[in-house]
Amino acid sequence: MTDPNAIENNPFKELGEIPEKKYHDGYKISSTYIPMRDGIKIATTICLPKVLSSSEKLPTLLVQTRYWRAMELRIPFRWILDDVISSTPNPEIYTSRGYAIVYTDVRGTGASEGTRPHPWYVDEIKDGADVVDWIIFQPWSDGNVVSNGISYSGICSEFFALNNHPAVKAIMPGHAMWDAYIDIAFPGGCYDWKFMEIWSFFGKNLDKNNPKVFKQLLPVVWLIAKGVKPVDSDKDLKILIGALNQHKSNKYVYEMTHDKNYRDEPLPDGTKIIDTCIYPHKEELEKTRVPILAWCSWLDSGYVDVIIHRFANLDNPQIAILGDWNHGASYPANQFFPERVKVTPSPKERINAWINFFDKCVKGNGIQGKTLYYYTMVEEKWKKTILWPPKGQKMQRWYLSENNSLSRTLPRIKSSADSYEINFRATTGRNNRWWTLLGLPIIYENRKKIDEKLLTYTSAPLEEDLEITGHTIVNLYISSTHEDNAVYVYLEDIDEKGNVTYITDGQLRVIHRKISTDKPPYKIFIPYHTYNEEDAQPLTPGEIAELKFGLHATSVVIRKNHRIRIAIAGHDKDTFYRYPSKGRPTIKIERNEKFASYIDLPIIKKEI
């Protein structure tokens, strides 16, 4: 949760005050099937202001989801709530400000017909244009469409812009992806198998209209919903039943990826992971000139880096926001203030900012240039920049040194190293930055005990506050008893009492360690690993190799008298696949004059 008193540079304040309500009588809901170019019917729910004269025309907010556009509620909820109650935001907030809302179940999901070989496949993206064609033909439409969403829907909104439909005036991807391989499926080449497995299981059951799976994952939704909402006209549920039958041919990402290792490895149906990524479409997206408001959190999976990559790579007019909440902003996630229970900005404050952004793009002059707003934890301040890295960023080197210390001084010793037998019971638990992709809160708790299972290096107490903003780079000289393993590095803060607080982390599967001299497919701020098969380099047991990789970006102040720690692990058992799948490697990290392992912290030098 950001500090509610952090007003300066606060994007939720700078984007404007609460837009005035234009419609005061609530909203009405209807549903229909929209036929696509190939005859597939897309289930659609429409919310309009309840009282709307035939002469009034509205812009439309389009939300495309794979998590059911509307729910058939259980009683008593069906008696008092709407089918779209689980939608964020509550439709009334938009309809009262003069927007129509159109929710669709993307092809192959919910009550829509069709099948899907993988998420965001080409037909699913093209459907967005067909839906817009339908929207602008409606008597209530003013011909303008904007799109937003969180997570899957957020990614949909960005893909949707690729249609370059002239009616589309703005998009707002929240907590969205850019590069499926490193942002979510294989961070650092390590398979995020728990998320991939659960997400696939969840999706499969949603597509079967089986709400039982909600019980453990989303108990609130399970309690209120009994299934996807059929379309009004489908009285005998014939179309829904037919659609559910078609969904049986859907493919799910876990089955496609769980035995894969490389970015360029073909998936069973001949597609590649790149087919689900936004970055290869950079130029097409830029050509649209569509304004983007993108938002995420420092602590959300690899999605934090998406904000930075999109900001640094896309020329579209852009507002980017990085705060300190969980995936989707339903829980605060600032690990330095675990007592906080509510997210600031509140959903209402966020939505006001969203509406102001859309209003500017639909009715005003749009937005100009690019601005990235970011929240610096512990300092509890919003900042903004038009450049990334932000002005004043310098890398400060800290060496892994004797007695598990972290030092600014290059080791002078000729030969020294630390051995660590990988503890395969090490875990960051099930409330970490990866599990939050399921909507869960992020809780790392005090890592003092956990660090006992890891290899740690700790600095002396700092003599002054130190701001770290950006990507920390880790450079380790490592040897192993095995050809393959993973390395996880945690950046932590230790206070005067010895409490250890998680800041960020990074990971690399050692076979992917080759630093490519090729130009990366998009601008990055960490060493470039291709993760391609031809670049794989198994370790030679006993031979020293260099591992250089980045941690996920962060912004934090480490206070005077606190200490910096890096903790090194070889596994995170509740999240990632085990490397190697068998055996127990012992790794040795060199820390001597010839092989000086270090981290480079991206510190912000205050201008005097």
Partner 1 sequence: MEEIIPSLRNMLKQAIEHKVDENNLKITLIVKKEVKGPLAEPDEVITMFQMLGGLKEEIPMEINIDNKAQKINIKFQTKEDLNKIRAIINTIWDNTVDLLEEFIAGDLTRLKDIPDF
Binding residues vs partner 1 (CB under 8 A): 74-76, 78-81, 85-86, 88, 90, 211-212, 215-216, 219-221, 223-224, 226, 330, 347-348, 441
Report cis status (omega within 30 of 0) of the bond before 347.
Answer: no
> In 247-380, which ranges are E strands?
292-297, 318-323, 370-376
Q: Where are the alpha helices (DSSP H) in 263-374?
A: 282-288, 303-313, 347-362
Q: How far is the CB of 479 from partner 1 (least distance, A)?
A: 43
The smaller minimum CB distance to partner 1, of residues 366 and 441, is found at 441
Nearer to partner 1, 76 or 498 (CB): 76
Least Cβ distance, residue 391 to partner 1 (angstroms):
38
Q: 3-class DSSP state for residue 533?
A: helix
| Distance of alpha carbon 245 from alpha carbon 537, whole angstroms | 45
Cα dihedral 215, 218, 220, 224 sign: negative
Q: Which residues pair with 341 in a beta bridge?
A: none
How far apart are CB 5 and partner 1 at their closest, in Å? Answer: 23
User: What's 445-493 look like in SS3?
Assistant: CCCCCHHHHCEEEECCCCCCCEEEEECCEEEEEEEECCCCCEEEEEEEE
Find the shortest distance in angstroms from Cβ 146 to partner 1: 22
Helix, strand, coil shares, percent, the chain, to 5? 25, 30, 50
Q: How far is the CB of 152 from partner 1 (least distance, A)?
A: 17
CB of 80 to partner 1, least distance (A): 5
Q: Compute the chain's Rg from CA coordinates.
A: 25
Q: Residue 85 or residue 462: which is nearer to partner 1 going by CB?
A: 85
Q: Residue ranges of the alpha helices (H) in 137-233? A: 152-161, 180, 193-207, 214-217, 219-224
Nearer to partner 1, 224 or 406 (CB): 224
Calpha distance 240→230 (Å, rounded):
7
Rounded to whole angstroms, the Cα distance separating 357 from 536 reads 45
Backbone angles phi, psi at 371, to 5 degrees: -135, 130
Q: Which is nearer to partner 1, 28 or 397 (CB)?
A: 28
* Helix (H) or strand (E) run with residue 136 in it: helix 122-136
What contacts 216, CB < 8 A, 6 or more positions away?
Answer: none
Q: Which residue's CB is nearer to partner 1, number 77 or number 525?
A: 77
Tell me the closest approach of the beta carbon of residue 91 to partner 1, in angstroms.
12
Least Å distance, CB 239 to partner 1, is 17
Residue with tokens 């979510």: 184
* Choice between 52 and 225, CB closer to partner 1: 225
Nearest residue (CB) to partner 1, 75 versus 608: 75
List residues with catalytic annotation.
151, 300, 327
CB neighbourhood size of 129 (10 A): 18
